[in-house]
Structure 1
């Protein structure tokens, strides 16, 4: 009888405990609903978009999530992420620079789920703590704390149908204890697209070029991340990424050249381009908390190396005499980057001080060789071969001070100094170039908050250094006559950013900005007899005034909409070229709509539309570009299984524009296979015992290796 009483008491106790736990969970959920995060927040130096507060941003990858953030534009056709009205930006994860660009950046972001993102920070005028490199701003993706004790993981597969089918898949396996954290991630993608490019130069002589190209990418990338808490206040960690990349292009190019005497020459070139690009990235860090008030010392080191091994075979038929030239070029490019830094964060009662130092070293060597097929043998053409070496060292130090005054005022100011030593050498021409320069990069921020209103002002100075590809003088041939090359004489561009922002009720946000760019560089194309030659030049200064505005809200509990617009006015001057500058102006808007179709919010339909009107910039004119995307999202198995289907660029729009020079006008009309159907399936599994944090490591220089 006593045993029976104990058994009944135990069962009642268990049932009561389960009910209490259920009621507690329900109570916590109710509290969470009451304290739902604000969708948009404005701080002194950044705009914050809280992903968890956005219905439209659930059940998708990071690339799609960024497209929902006011002021941001994601263009998968161009492989770029930009701030509306400005140029491309750098992307960070928890303050660590990704240093990827183009398709490599987009593919990386596709492996991150929106469910793992806490918020996205848009920093249009970066503070002195961050590298001064970059001409527009930063996007900082803040991830949620690393999932759980024990094992957990994620599997994702994507099918994309353009002119050709593509596939990508990634998976992660995490293991956590109270002190040790590890993550093994594997990403694979195999994709292709069709490109139709037309570029015409019309002046005293004329050149008409059309390329039909199949672009192919294949990559297998394992990533290992580990960290260990040495003590309550100290932690060490490392990350190693190996990317085994292969890419290729099959190109059919037709070129018609008409010289000043109206003599016409037609060329037909078939090109077979293949590249192998094994890449190694190793990062390590040591964090030490100096006290319980938040004082912290961080030390980090990074190493990056790749060896780009490329072979290009092209066969050119000259139609006037039916002669054929068979040519092969090979190139080996080996960039290497090392960086080390130390950062100190010191919060005091009178304000927060941040200071630190950093050292970066860039090395690059390239070897390109040119061969003519003669008698069945490839014979080297030494006049077209080239060797190039480049080395750059950057020394940096920064100091910033932040102070909050009462409940309304927030201020921050800082300065960064960077000193650069650079040297390049081309043995074939015995040409050596050396640069030695130092620059100060100040920044300042102030914001005022009262009730639902937030006002802010920010300023920062930036530098845009040429990448190694921009500097390398060797020639990339598209046929025996036409080529593109870098320019070792390029010098950095400098940018000053001023911005005045306003946010109302965490839904409406607007900003007015002025951007001054000096000594900017870009790619210029010219005709030399039968050849079309492209190279890089410092050739313009630009003043840009702009207005951004956005409004995001939810109506009837099932419809979330976001409306954004941008308008700019530009005034430019050119040098080093003879060109007709345009008084620039642009206007564009974006509307996104997300509809929740059922009560459980597991079935969602979205329809997005954007329209960029025709605009002018420096010596160029670009035609209007409307774009529409739509799709359906389904969540199953308590949202552990998510299926997304999306159609992009429904109208299959082409990019068209003109460039105006004193002696010629250049026309482009390109289609980069923008219309696509994408199907994504994602499954999350694992333990959910306890969340712990994971360190992300800064490595801000790697993108300049491209």
Structure 2
């Protein structure tokens, strides 16, 4: 501390004598280096990762940075971000939900540079302030505040070479005055990949199916974010995002069916799938500081609309009959979401009270037309066509209380109540549930202990509920189930952190009334439907260690192990208790004294494991690359090779009367080159993103 004070005093003296600002900034950077930051910090309800303290996270985008955080896994091929040992999570920026998913989310994260990120919070058991929807929790990316005024921005472009070429371009332009902040962001994706999927059902009859697919996507997503400080105590802001997404698939499927009478039928289907999905999202907020002690009142509103228009044409050759069936399906799906919320934060000397209320409405209308080609024209098959209307309203209130006891103890407890009313073409019902949460932590010198609990709900998405039959050929289809009920999750977690490097946690997760897709085979007809069909108990542990050796090598070692038991209902299946083990080793090596060139080598593996009635085979992944920073980190060049082993995803499902086996490859091996240039102010201003968690269920 004496050395730090001495350098700061020197800086003030230097300013007094009129030395140039650039030299002062360099001295400040030296102070930051001398004051060693905590890489990992655990609080009562979250694990905090300091990006500046991580060598591996320098010169990267936000998506790559998330992959360096212990317990997190980023799968670019699947478009998912998940907590190790658990399912995918939602992403927030500065405490507000990011309104993007899948490829669009990862492309957005590529436009955020790691040098603009302060910390990343992993919230495995979210407090009552947040939506009860979802299983694993939340990730909160905290951006650095920008004290500078004027223009700033960055341009990022890159390509990924799989079987086909993929290109991405992102651009951001920021403008800030003392009261007004503006940010215009545009991202563009254009690419394709090759997928190969094999699915086998072995029962009284046998079905062998293989699809080779070319997935294509094109997405232009401009967005505008604006905020204005009315006075020192109040601020208003808005965000508008337009998504011009276009997707397509060209599929060749071959299916061999051997009936119980040993009669063999072969199907060859060519499918042409084209989809337009323009979306509009508008969000607004108003924040009011009630006093100088931190009391704050906030209001937010959100609106989302999607006009999905899909055409699927398929032609099926049936052998040995040597007949051809041509079919066209036309679907229009129009989900729409509206939400409004208010939050009140009241810090007092005896503790902090938070309370609020929220209303959201989810509406969807869907129309599917199935047309057969007969007598040189398409005619509608009314039995296979359908319409579906759905409306859901959710009313929520919450309250929480947080208090610290001295320097060692930190506590927080809350309760959220949500009442849901559902009206659809086939079913009307309502239900209300309480969702409690509680957290406590103890800190003493280098040791940090935490204990947390929260109850969650997992509501079906629209694709789960929609009863449409999505046909692959005239005999095979998948559909949703409008009678699905939500599942409920109870999360318990005990965590420990030592010296901000070693972190471990043990958890118990009880999942009740869980749902998923189940496959059936009836003669030549292969179908898939969603059912509530199992309960699950998970007992697990996460361990991670991060450290720097010899000033040039940073490594993070993470591991997860879990044991599960389950029970099945609504169907007949063979269940068994199972264990799972996965681990990852991430290494970054600095190759020069100026720390502008780095090599990274990352490996992760999931050993074979069982869950409910499924068995998943071993899967491993090796990634490597080089990153270079030039022009005082304004120009950054990264090259990456992913899934070097070109692993396939394999698994088996066991039922009383059949077994099902899949063997898939989704073009995971790739080479990626990205170039990022930052101009103007080096730091982006911290923009406010609006909490809009319900939007995920529109998919």
Give the TM-score normalised by structure 2.
0.97
* SS across alignment from 1:442: strand
Q: After the TM superposition, which of the residue ranges 43-52 and 141-150 deviates more from structure 2? A: 141-150
- The aligned counterpart of 1:200 is 200
Determine the C-alpha separation between the residues in 2 that align with 1:691 and 1:362.
Answer: 34
**Contact 1:169–1:188 at 8 Å: present in 2 too?**
yes
* SS across alignment from 2:372: strand
Distance 1:382 1:587, change over 3 A: same
* SS across alignment from 2:690: coil
- The aligned counterpart of 1:481 is 475
* SS across alignment from 1:25: helix
Question: Shift of the alpha carbon at 1:619?
Answer: 0.3
**Contact 2:97–2:689 at 8 Å: present in 1 too?**
no
Question: Shift of the alpha carbon at 1:264?
Answer: 0.9
Counting only pairs closer than 5 Å after superposition, residues 84-483 of structure 1 correspond to structure 2 as 84-146=84-146, 148-425=148-425, 432-483=426-477
* SS across alignment from 1:70: coil
Question: Shift of the alpha carbon at 1:692?
Answer: 5.5
Question: Shift of the alpha carbon at 1:32?
Answer: 1.3
Determine the C-alpha separation between the residues in 2 that align with 1:347 and 1:19.
Answer: 43
Select which of 545, 551, 560 maps to 1:566.
560
Report Cα offsets for 1:551-589 as digits up to 9, x if no partner.
000000000001011100000000011000021101111
Report Cα offsets for 1:474-499 as digits up to 9, x if no partner.
11000011000000000000000000
* SS across alignment from 2:383: helix
Question: Shift of the alpha carbon at 1:95?
Answer: 1.4
Select which of 657, 665, 670 maps to 1:671.
665
Give the gaps of 5 or more residues in structure 1: 1-12, 426-431
Report Cα offsets for 1:199-237 as digits up to 9, x if no partner.
100011111110000000100011001111111101101
Determine the C-alpha separation between the residues in 2 that align with 1:213 and 1:21.
Answer: 57
Determine the C-alpha separation between the residues in 2 that align with 1:175 and 1:20.
Answer: 26
- The aligned counterpart of 1:495 is 489
- The aligned counterpart of 1:30 is 30
* SS across alignment from 1:28: helix
- The aligned counterpart of 2:9 is none
Determine the C-alpha separation between the residues in 2 that align with 1:635 and 1:31.
Answer: 22
Report Cα offsets for 1:48-95 as digits up to 9, x if no partner.
001111110111111111111101111122221111111111111111
* SS across alignment from 2:427: strand
Distance 1:76 1:14, change over 3 A: closer
Select which of 649, 669, 676 maps to 1:655.
649
Report Cα offsets for 1:273-307 as digits up to 9, x if no partner.
00001000000000000000000000000000011
Please tell me the root mean square deviation across aligned C-alpha atoms, in Å: 1.5
Question: Shift of the alpha carbon at 1:99?
Answer: 4.4
**Contact 1:99–1:701 at 8 Å: present in 2 too?**
no
Q: After the TM superposition, which of the residue ranges 116-125 and 441-450 deviates more from structure 2? A: 116-125
Question: Shift of the alpha carbon at 1:377?
Answer: 1.1
**Contact 2:99–2:695 at 8 Å: present in 1 too?**
yes
* SS across alignment from 1:230: strand
* SS across alignment from 2:56: helix
- The aligned counterpart of 1:621 is 615
- The aligned counterpart of 1:587 is 581
Question: Shift of the alpha carbon at 1:635?
Answer: 0.5
Question: Shift of the alpha carbon at 1:187?
Answer: 0.5
**Contact 1:147–1:691 at 8 Å: present in 2 too?**
no
Confirm whether residue 603 of structure 1 aligns to residue 597 of structure 2.
Answer: yes
Determine the C-alpha separation between the residues in 2 that align with 1:292 and 1:57.
Answer: 36
- The aligned counterpart of 2:3 is none
**Contact 1:96–1:700 at 8 Å: present in 2 too?**
no
Question: Shift of the alpha carbon at 1:107?
Answer: 2.2
Select which of 534, 537, 558 maps to 1:540.
534
Distance 1:336 1:16, change over 3 A: closer
- The aligned counterpart of 1:428 is none
Report Cα offsets for 1:294-338 as digits up to 9, x if no partner.
000000000000110000000000021111011100000000000
Question: Shift of the alpha carbon at 1:34?
Answer: 2.6
* SS across alignment from 1:478: strand
Confirm whether residue 700 of structure 1 aligns to residue 693 of structure 2.
Answer: yes
- The aligned counterpart of 2:677 is 683
Q: After the TM superposition, which of the residue ranges 373-382 and 518-527 deviates more from structure 2? A: 373-382
**Contact 1:90–1:99 at 8 Å: present in 2 too?**
no
Determine the C-alpha separation between the residues in 2 that align with 1:385 and 1:274.
Answer: 19
Determine the C-alpha separation between the residues in 2 that align with 1:415 and 1:617.
Answer: 31
- The aligned counterpart of 1:81 is 81
* SS across alignment from 1:105: helix
* SS across alignment from 2:464: helix
Question: Shift of the alpha carbon at 1:21?
Answer: 4.4
**Contact 1:603–1:632 at 8 Å: present in 2 too?**
yes
Counting only pairs closer than 5 Å after superposition, residues 44-63 of structure 1 correspond to structure 2 as 44-63=44-63
Determine the C-alpha separation between the residues in 2 that align with 1:113 and 1:106.
Answer: 13
Determine the C-alpha separation between the residues in 2 that align with 1:656 and 1:380.
Answer: 39
**Contact 1:512–1:546 at 8 Å: present in 2 too?**
yes
**Contact 1:372–1:380 at 8 Å: present in 2 too?**
yes
**Equivalent residues, number:** 687
Question: Shift of the alpha carbon at 1:31?
Answer: 2.2
**Contact 2:245–2:276 at 8 Å: present in 1 too?**
yes
* SS across alignment from 1:578: coil
Question: Shift of the alpha carbon at 1:532?
Answer: 0.6
Distance 1:540 1:16, change over 3 A: closer
* SS across alignment from 1:701: helix
Question: Shift of the alpha carbon at 1:661?
Answer: 0.3
Distance 1:517 1:14, change over 3 A: closer
Determine the C-alpha separation between the residues in 2 that align with 1:316 and 1:165.
Answer: 30
Determine the C-alpha separation between the residues in 2 that align with 1:95 and 1:682.
Answer: 26
Report Cα offsets for 1:365-409 as digits up to 9, x if no partner.
000001111122111111111000000000000000000000000
Question: Shift of the alpha carbon at 1:613?
Answer: 0.5
Determine the C-alpha separation between the residues in 2 that align with 1:625 and 1:392.
Answer: 39
- The aligned counterpart of 2:5 is none
- The aligned counterpart of 1:553 is 547
Report Cα offsets for 1:229-249 as digits up to 9, x if no partner.
111101101000001010000
Question: Shift of the alpha carbon at 1:691?
Answer: 7.6
Q: After the TM superposition, which of the residue ranges 158-167 and 373-382 deviates more from structure 2? A: 373-382
Distance 1:477 1:306, change over 3 A: same
- The aligned counterpart of 2:624 is 630
**Contact 1:149–1:691 at 8 Å: present in 2 too?**
no
